[in-house]
Chains A and B, each alone.
Chain A
Amino acid sequence: MSKFKKQKSGDLPAISTASLPDIVFMLLFFFMVATVMREDELMIENRLPTANQVEKLESKNKLIYIYIGKPSPQYQKTFGTTDVIQLGDKISSVSEVQTYVNTKRNAMPEDIQDEMMVSLKVDSSSKVGQLTDVKQELRDAMALKINYTAKKGDPMRNVKQ
């Protein structure tokens, strides 16, 4: 009996963690490939609706993003709780939309300026009012190609309560 006891009393052999970095690196590469750097720091809530008649967006350099939604909790003191418009990385008013679009358009290479498209990222619970004002501004700025950015999926999920 004592013979066996002696063998068991030794220290547990260290578990090899050599494969752990491999696993983590795999995760890392997955994230590096599947994601993109954050363009603008979102200051508003932005959950996109789902739709099934979606088309792929143009390549990124032809896109201008406009976000609409409620300010996130930490900004609600400054900007209230009604829907606001975010251009670039700051919250702006409707009247600034035209200037913003024109500045962005002029920054593009000349040959793709006509193909510019505005991607409207509107929070699914926000009201249409702000969006309509923005669209009116876009019309005046002659930015007529727009896109209601939406996730691919069953649109009936939007209306179900």
Chain B
Amino acid sequence: MAKRSAPEVNAGSMADIAFLLLIFFLVTTTIEVDSGIQSKLPPPVPDEVEPPPIKQKNIFQVLVNQNNQLLVEDELMEIKDLTEAAVAFLDNGGGEGPAACAYCRGDRDPASSDNPDKAVISLVNDRQATYNMYVTVYNELVRAYTILRNREAELRYNETFEKMYMRYKEWPETEKETPEYEKLGKQVDEIRDLYPLKLSEAEPQEG
């Protein structure tokens, strides 16, 4: 029998079908943003409870006004200097006696915070401030804590806190019973306790 080549299939319309599907997916789906700044709200407090007293020197006052200007400890500040100022405040370690801080490496200025456990950053923003500014300020303050935690983790365990935490979070589900996992968890908690994130948001002021 004579050899006959198979007739060519016309695939021209296949592209059209594929395009239709493609366009359908383009329209109905979104690329999800799956990251964000974690935060915890304080639980609602009953009215009659008095807030615990905090020494004025342990508070780092950050204000954002309606013109998106930043007022830190009663002084105008550029946002790029905020992290540095927050680090200096948290790491000051000016306390004496039981409030002393052995691992702080700040100036030990008696007028600034006693130790990172006592230090509180208070963020007050005007209602008219933009969300852009708010997120940026919040981000910079969280970064101050991250810098300090990284430094401490690097000293103790030769690894940045961010990497340790990432490892901890992405530990395979099947190996969570191992002692290594528990050890890492303890280390993460330890670093976190050395520099606990104390960021208080007071009620914003009417603008």
* A contact residues, total (Cβ < 8 Å): 57
State whether A142 and B25 are in contact (beta carbons under 8 Å apart), knowing that A51-B37, A158-B133, A159-B133 are contacts in the complex. no
Q: Does A71 contact B (CB under 8 A)?
A: no
Q: Please, which residues of chain A bring their CB within 8 A of the CB of B41?
A: 135, 138-139, 143-146
Q: Are B30 and A35 in contact (CB under 8 A)?
A: yes
Contacts of A120 in B (CB 8 A): 36
CB within 8 Å for A155 and B135 given contacts A27-B22, A53-B142: yes
Q: Smallest Cβ distance from A4 to chain B, in angstroms?
A: 30
Bound together, the chains give a CA A60 to CA B22 distance in angstroms of: 25
CB contact between A155 and one of B33, B127, B139 (< 8 Å): that residue: B139
- Nearest Cβ on chain A to B173's Cβ, whole angstroms: 12
User: Counting CB contacts under 8 A, is A78 at the interface?
Assistant: no
Residues of A within 8 A of B135 (CB): 49, 51, 124, 148, 150, 155, 158
Q: Does B40 contact A (CB under 8 A)?
A: yes
- B171 contacts the other chain (Cβ, under 8 Å)? no
CB-nearest residue of chain A relative to B18?
A24
Query: Are B40's CB and A146's CB within 8 A?
Result: yes
Is the pair A139, B132 in contact by a Cβ cutoff of 8 Å? no
CB of A128 within 8 A of CB of B125, answer: yes
Is A11 interfacial (CB-CB < 8 Å)? no
Q: How far is the CA of A48 from the CA of B47 in the complex (A)?
A: 35
What residues of A have a CB within 8 angstroms of the CB of B42 in the complex?
139, 144
- B-side residues, CB < 8 A to A, are 11-12, 14-15, 17-19, 21-22, 25-26, 28-44, 68, 79-80, 125-136, 138-140, 142-143, 146, 169, 203-204
Chain A residues with a Cβ under 8 A of chain B: 17-18, 20-21, 24-25, 27-28, 31-32, 34-38, 48-49, 51-57, 68, 119-129, 131-132, 135, 138-140, 142-152, 155-156, 158-159
A and B contact pairs by CB, cutoff 8 A, 25 listed = A17-B12, A21-B18, A28-B18, A32-B25, A36-B32, A37-B29, A49-B136, A53-B139, A56-B35, A57-B34, A119-B36, A120-B36, A124-B135, A126-B131, A127-B127, A132-B204, A144-B41, A147-B36, A148-B36, A148-B37, A148-B39, A148-B138, A149-B33, A150-B35, A150-B36
